[in-house]
Structure 1
Amino acid sequence: MHTDLVAALDIGGTKIAGALVDGGGNIRLRARRPTPAQDDGETVMGAVAAVLAELSESPLWARASAIGIGSAGPVDASAGTVSPVNVPGWRDFPLVARVREATGGLPAELVGDGVAMTAAEHWQGAARGFGNALCMVVSTGVGGGLVLGGRLHTGPTGNAGHIGHISVDLDGDPCPCGGRGCVERIASGPNIARRALENGWRPGPDGDASAAAVARAARAGDPVASASYERAAQALAAGIAATATLVEIEIAVIGGGVAGAGEVLFAPLRRALRDYAALSFVRRLTVAPALTGTDAGLVGAAAAATAAATRTCVTPPVVAGGRA
């Protein structure tokens, strides 16, 4: 029997997606359920089990050799547990053990969602071919992951590269994480919109007050909307430059909904990076939009599981920790 596919889960506060992924990163089968995020932990696990059950009904399921799990965090890959901020019913929830139980004992690999996106971009996206990269998801929150020396660098618990909670403003607003002036508190979509509203920007007739609406206003020349994105870009540039200075990354890849603003974000980001990334060894740093899109979580989870099974240095990248 061929075992040439990998199962993947992408678990967030809005949706639980599942897939079977082949060795070329192509999704062969999909399943999806809404996340019952405000319900108890067993109800959430029931939705995960329903996704797995739908996948397992396909004849392709017999070809799956392992399962990768990308989850909103924090995660603890060493313990196989998750405590997503936006899923309060899961605190130290033994997700790896429960998924293995639901899949008949498939080897399982757990990574955070930012790390999964990084694995996807290194395997199939904008970071492909780079030995040292920072990949970021800038959306409702700001997450990320690192590739160092050609390998995904997750740290002992799977949270390395979580750039959203680097402080870039020592006297800045308190962040829900407990810090002050974090990248996320300035550059996430909700905070871009909040700042624009606080400074006098007003939504159009449709009432859309999202970061995407602020981006449209900035593109049309609204100075307050533009200033909010410029502030977000400055925070991202400071975090990226600090990371590059510390570990000498060659490329920073940015995905997530906020990256959909295009040059409204990327133009001021590149300008700000010229100011912050001033040392000779970080001046050549490239910034690029992510390429793997909404499938990044699934493709990255599959990459993590494949790499854990092979434990080689070739792409897809190696992921340490979390295997049950």
Structure 2
Amino acid sequence: MAIDIGGTKIAGALVHPDGTMTATTRRPTPPSRDADTVMAAVTEVIADLSGSPLWPSAVRCGIGSAGPVDSSRGTVSPVNIGAWREFPVLDRITEELAARGAAVPAVLAGDGVAMTAAEHWLGAARGHANALCMVVSTGVGGGLILNNQLHPGPTGNAGHIGHITVAFDGDPCVCGSRGCVESIASGTAIAGWARARGWTPAEPGGDATAAGVAAAAEAGDAVALAAFDRAGRALAAAIAATATLVETDIAVIGGGVAASGETLFAPIRGHLADYATLSFVQGLKVVPASLGTHAGLIGAAAAATMLLPQAGTPTATA
């Protein structure tokens, strides 16, 4: 069983050992300040899954959630789900599963960790024993594969590359630090930096988000190109620092900003040569993620398989 909880939708699926999905379902995330109202949408997703004839065959449950998460306590406080602060989502879902005859082990992972598990199992990081996977979107998150094992850390937040400082005298970040990758390379930061330097969409009322900046960069707009070059440099510095620390050999990047393609990847690769200079990181590769919108559910299932292998089906790296 896989459950993917985000700010706009809550999705579920039954995921087979080869990564195919059945009984896929979703509900919009309620715009409610009441925690139980949001949980009710999760319960509806579980109810849909329990109606599948394959429900009794499930052996574990993976829960991927927007963060922050604390997997050691089973709690979440998603920035974009205001009703949930220190919400005990793991216990609540485990109780709901048991009530529907599925007393299976369950695990909670942040969405960056889930994406990492997915890309290592079936995506662009497959075959790499040591990998950094990232989501570059409204925020910047990520996760680590070390020695073919998912490495979420004690609270599930290891690999959170978005809050590595790459500019020690940079702008304040929403996390309270300064000069973080997210404050430079997130979609919000890219668009904000460009607008502050006079960039506007070519047409009145046009797209003023990072996607609009990307389109302008593709058309040759100097400010838009500089915004993506700046973001690429920040990402390159953080990727190189991570690789130097733990010897990853590939960085996989997904998320909405990564959809801009070479507009983002070209400056990352260009700047990487300035930061990945030691012999053991000079071969570091940066590639796009390959699983797209399926990464959340596949990743929740993969994280459960990697972190709860005792349930007796093939591991995610098989």
Cα deviation, 1:214-233, whole Å, max 9, x if unaligned, reads: 11111111111111001000
**Cα displacement (A) at 1:317:** 5.1
Aligned to 1:270: 269
1:192 matched to 2:186? The reply is no
For residues 315 and 215 of structure 1, the distance between their equivalents in structure 2, rounded to whole angstroms, comes to: 39
Cα deviation, 1:61-98, whole Å, max 9, x if unaligned, reads: 22212110000111111111111122122111111110
Aligned to 2:77: 83
Answer whether contact 1:9 1:68 (CA < 8 A) is retained: yes
1:54-203 equivalent positions in 2, closer than 5 A: 54-104=48-98, 105-203=103-201
**Number of aligned residues:** 311
Answer whether contact 2:4 2:297 (CA < 8 A) is retained: yes
1:259 matched to 2:258? The reply is yes
Q: TM-score, normalised by structure 1?
A: 0.93
Q: Which moved more, 1:149-158 or 1:29-38?
A: 29-38
Q: 1:221 to 1:148 in 2, by over 3 A?
A: same
**Cα displacement (A) at 1:106:** 2.5
**Cα displacement (A) at 1:27:** 1.2
Moved over 4 A (4+): none
For residues 138 and 38 of structure 1, the distance between their equivalents in structure 2, rounded to whole angstroms, comes to: 26
**Cα displacement (A) at 1:201:** 1.1
**Cα displacement (A) at 1:264:** 0.4
Structure 1 unpaired stretches of 5+: 1-6, 319-324
* Structural RMSD (CA): 1.5
Q: Percent identity?
A: 65
For residues 71 and 38 of structure 1, the distance between their equivalents in structure 2, rounded to whole angstroms, comes to: 17
For residues 249 and 308 of structure 2, the distance between their equivalents in structure 1, rounded to whole angstroms, comes to: 27
For residues 38 and 281 of structure 1, the distance between their equivalents in structure 2, rounded to whole angstroms, comes to: 49
Q: Which moved more, 1:216-225 or 1:114-123?
A: 216-225
Q: Which amino acid aligns with 2:141?
A: G
Answer whether contact 1:119 1:317 (CA < 8 A) is retained: no
Aligned to 1:44: 38
**Cα displacement (A) at 1:315:** 4.7
1:234 matched to 2:228? The reply is no
The answer to which structure, 1 or 2, has the higher relative contact order (CA under 8 A, 6+ apart) is 1
For residues 88 and 52 of structure 1, the distance between their equivalents in structure 2, rounded to whole angstroms, comes to: 22
Q: Which amino acid aligns with 2:219?
A: A
Answer whether contact 1:138 1:257 (CA < 8 A) is retained: yes
Aligned to 2:316: 316
For residues 277 and 64 of structure 2, the distance between their equivalents in structure 1, rounded to whole angstroms, comes to: 35
For residues 202 and 315 of structure 1, the distance between their equivalents in structure 2, rounded to whole angstroms, comes to: 49
Answer whether contact 1:123 1:315 (CA < 8 A) is retained: no
1:299 matched to 2:298? The reply is yes
Q: Which amino acid aligns with 2:110?
A: G
Answer whether contact 1:132 1:150 (CA < 8 A) is retained: yes
For residues 316 and 309 of structure 2, the distance between their equivalents in structure 1, rounded to whole angstroms, comes to: 10
Answer whether contact 2:150 2:306 (CA < 8 A) is retained: no
Q: Which moved more, 1:293-302 or 1:30-39?
A: 30-39
Structure 2 unpaired stretches of 5+: none
**Cα displacement (A) at 1:37:** 4.2
Aligned to 1:4: none
Answer whether contact 2:149 2:306 (CA < 8 A) is retained: no
Cα deviation, 1:122-179, whole Å, max 9, x if unaligned, reads: 0000100000000000001000000011101110111000000001111111111010
Answer whether contact 1:37 1:86 (CA < 8 A) is retained: no
Answer whether contact 1:136 1:252 (CA < 8 A) is retained: yes
Aligned to 2:5: 11
Q: Which moved more, 1:189-198 or 1:60-69?
A: 60-69
Q: Which moved more, 1:205-214 or 1:144-153?
A: 205-214
